[in-house]
Amino acid sequence: MSEIDIRLTRYGSRVANTLTTAALAELVQRYGGDGDSTPILPGEFDPPGGGFLIAYDPDHEPIGCVGWRTLAEDEDTAELKRMYVVPGHRGRGVAKALLVAVEDDARRSGRRRMWLETGTAQPEAIALYERSGYVRIEDFGHYKEYEDVRSFGKDL
């Protein structure tokens, strides 16, 4: 998709809430439970220790989101969270554009690595990360003991 406009916003903004609610609803469909019970504190996605980005289509409609926060155990590492693209806009390069933008934002803030957790019920996400240079790393984070978790990392 050409003409994707990606903007930094607050994690608690109305548009961010709308997209993250949709993301969590999809995770419920894929995994059951509450979708993602990873603890998130207010302000974790605020600069300079984090960032939250929204992708807009040419009609200025929000079509995707992604965020990063500094990993508590390692201030050089950013953790990717809440990557989501509205279903009608998938397969058009939105996720790749969001991934590049979030990596750039984390790099500008001094992070040297990006880590993420995903799962086996998200094969398209795993494929995107692998195509983008992410490699499997030791499982970490909230879901590290779960059998279907897959953790990835990339040097920025």
% of the chain surpassing 90 pLDDT: 85
pTM: 0.94
Is residue 2 scored above 80 in pLDDT?
A: no
pLDDT, position 1: 54
Distances 84 to 3, 40, 110, 144 between C-alpha atoms, Å? 18, 17, 24, 21
Predicted confidence at residue 29, as pLDDT, reads 93
Q: What are the domain boundaries of the chain?
A: 5-112
Residue 99's φ and ψ, nearest 5 degrees, are -65, -45
Position 32 scores a pLDDT of 86
pLDDT number for residue 36: 81
Mean pLDDT computed over 36-40: 85
Residue 131 banded pLDDT, cuts 50, 70, 90:
very high
pLDDT (0 to 100) of residue 144: 84
Residue 97 is predicted with a pLDDT of 98
Higher per-residue confidence, 47 vs 33: 47
Q: Which listed CATH number (3.40.630.30, 1.10.10.10, 3.40.50.300, 3.40.640.10) goes with 5-112?
A: 3.40.630.30
* Residue 143: per-residue pLDDT: 85
Give pLDDT tens digits for 81-97.
999 999 999 999 999 99
